[in-house]
Amino acid sequence: MQSGKKNQNSEATGWLMAFPATAIIGLFIIVPFLLGFYFAFTNQRFISPNPTEYVGTSNFHQLLDLGVLTLEPERDTATQEIKKDAAGALTYPTVRSLTRNNPDMPYFNGMREWFSWHSGDNIKVVVARDVVFMKAIVNTFIFVLVVAPLQGGIALLLALMINQKLPGINFFRTIYFMPVVVSIVVVSLLWRFIYSGDNGLLNALLGFFTFGAFKPVDWLGNPATALPSIIAMSIWQAVGFHMVIWLSGLQTIPVSLYEASDIEGATSWQKFRFVTWPGLRNTAILVLVVITMQAFTLFSQVAVMTQGGPVDSTQTIVFQAVQRGYAKQDIATGSAISVILFALVITISLIQRYLTRESNT
């Protein structure tokens, strides 16, 4: 029971004590977060002689508009017969002829080809207003969808290895965790050298272990291998972090359960399947959510290793946000990208939580 005077005292002191943290988080996290939503609907630039104007959803249209064009084979204007070129192949109008100053299709004006496929004699072309951003979204999703299960799985495997009762096991735990404390920027640079096409360490090692049968690959210079290379390196750097989280989950499982299953004559796999895994459900949700959140913000690796290339194969959402918002000083588009990213992160983590909950029942 406190007296009235003490309560008054606690009211003022309570406020005062919470004030610095509240003010800082409010001003530097909450305010910019809300400003981002506001800027996303304006034409705000970093420095501009013109006043900022409300532009509605046009930034989002610029980034996200998609369309499908059907290219029909060109026909002879007189006979309506399908024309063929000298080699006997069908000829098609260019995408550009349909999307540049075409009064019949104002929506498609300025759009560019993203990808296409053949459908009978026709070609279907998916066009986007911002092809680079589309690629950034797809790459980010690939990164998240590969890294989340792979990194989570490898981390669990390492945690199970480290959870053995062996003399000196802590030494290995220390080693596996080591890359986590190293900056991702340092790691990226180091691996840029390891991945290098001509003098790269990885090529040399692969060549050695295959007795020279392996042909050197320019890992970061090839659109097919650049993103997988970044994925592998990112897992190498961060897997120890999640190993430790799994490990703390493993250590909450009562030893008595293992003893009981030993008495029942359970195999190692059965022990994992029926004792370890059910005991790790909460940890699994946490690991997946944390990896997904981190994976969505992929930036440093790309900035240091590839700058989004080759041919946009490593563009990511955050890299694009920085390119527009910072390099091109287009705060509005950068903010719109941030809003899209936030929407994705929140949606995915809600879906993930829902799915992991569901499998619980």
Partner 1 sequence: MSTPTTSLKPSAWRYVPLVLVALIFVFPLEFMIMSSLKPSEQLLADSNSFRAFLPVGDISLNNYVAAFARAPVALFLFNSVFITATTVALALFFCSVAAFSFVFLQWRGRDTIMTVLLTTLVIPIEIIAVPLLLLVNQLPWVGLHGFSTGWLNSYQVQIIPFSADALTVYLFVQYFKDLPKELIEAARIEGASWWQIYYKVIMPLAGPVTATAAILKFLAMYNQFLWPLMVTQAEEYRPVMVGLQYFFQLNIAWGEVMAYLTLITVPVLIFYLLLQRAFIASIASTGIKG
Q: Which of residues 90-129 bind partner 1 (CB under 8 A)?
A: none
Closest to partner 1 by CB, 24 vs 145, is 24
Say how far apart CA 352 and CA 360 lie, in whole Å. Answer: 13
Q: How far apart are CA 129 and CA 153, in angstroms?
A: 38
Q: Is 269 helix (H, G, I), strand (E, B) or coil?
A: helix
- The residue (of 116 and 349) whose beta carbon lies closer to partner 1 is 349
Least distance in angstroms from the C-beta of 124 to partner 1: 35
- Does position 311 interact with partner 1 (CB under 8 A)? The reply is no
Among 155, 234, 240, 302, binds partner 1 (CB under 8 A): 240
β-sheet with 112-119: strand ranges across: 66-71, 122-128, 112-119
CA-to-CA separations, 126 to 24, 65, 97, 304, 311, in angstroms, rounded: 45, 11, 15, 31, 18
Provide the residue type at 76 as one letter.
Answer: D
**For residue 75, what are the β-bridge partners?**
82
335 lines the binding site for partner 1 (CB under 8 A): yes
Rounded least distance, CB 71 to partner 1, Å: 38
Q: Which is nearer to partner 1, 105 or 182 (CB)?
A: 182
Within positions 41 to 100, which residues make up the interface with partner 1, using CB under 8 A? 44, 46
- Size of interface with partner 1, in residues (CB under 8 A): 94
With contacts defined by CB under 8 A, name the span among 116-124, 128-136, 223-231, 326-334 that binds partner 1.
326-334
Taking the C-alpha atoms of residue 270 and residue 263, their distance in angstroms, rounded to an integer, is 13
Pick 126 or 250: Cβ nearer partner 1: 250
> Looking at 95, 128, 147, 247, which residue binds partner 1 (CB under 8 A)?
247
Of residues 6, 75, 84, 273, which one binds partner 1 by CB under 8 A?
6
**Residue span 134-163 as binding mask against partner 1, x where in contact by CB under 8 A, dash where not:** ------------------------x--x--
Stretch that binds partner 1, among 57-65, 75-83, 117-125, 295-303 (CB under 8 A): 295-303
**According to CB under 8 A, which one of 185, 311, 351, 355 is a site residue for partner 1?**
185
Separation between Cα atoms, residue 82 and residue 158, nearest integer Å: 62
In this chain, which of 58, 217, 293, 356 binds partner 1, going by CB under 8 A?
293
Q: Binding partner 1 by CB under 8 A: which of 43, 139, 234, 338?
A: 338
**Smaller CB separation from partner 1, 186 or 224:** 186
Q: Which of 298, 301, 142, 137 is nearest to 219 (CA)?
A: 301
Indicate which single residue of 98, 111, 220, 244 sits in contact with partner 1 (rule: CB under 8 A). Answer: 244
Q: Say whether residue 18 binds partner 1 (CB under 8 A).
A: yes
Q: Which is nearer to partner 1, 21 or 213 (CB)?
A: 21
| Distance separating alpha carbons of residues 59 and 42, to the nearest angstrom | 8
Q: Tokens at residue 320, please?
A: 């694009």
Q: Where are the alpha helices (DSSP H) in the chain?
A: 4-25, 31-39, 58-64, 95-99, 131-162, 169-181, 184-194, 201-209, 223-250, 255-263, 268-271, 277-279, 281-296, 300-305, 317-322, 331-358
Residue 29 binds partner 1 (CB under 8 A): yes
Instruction: For residue 325, give both structure tokens.
Output: 């918002």
Nearer to partner 1, 120 or 212 (CB): 212
Of 249, 250, 275, 251, the C-alpha closest to 261 is: 275
Helix (H, G, I), strand (E, B) or coil at 301: helix
Of positions 62, 228, 322, 356, contacts partner 1 by CB under 8 A: 322
Task: Give the footprint of partner 1 on residues 206-235 (CB under 8 A).
Answer: 208
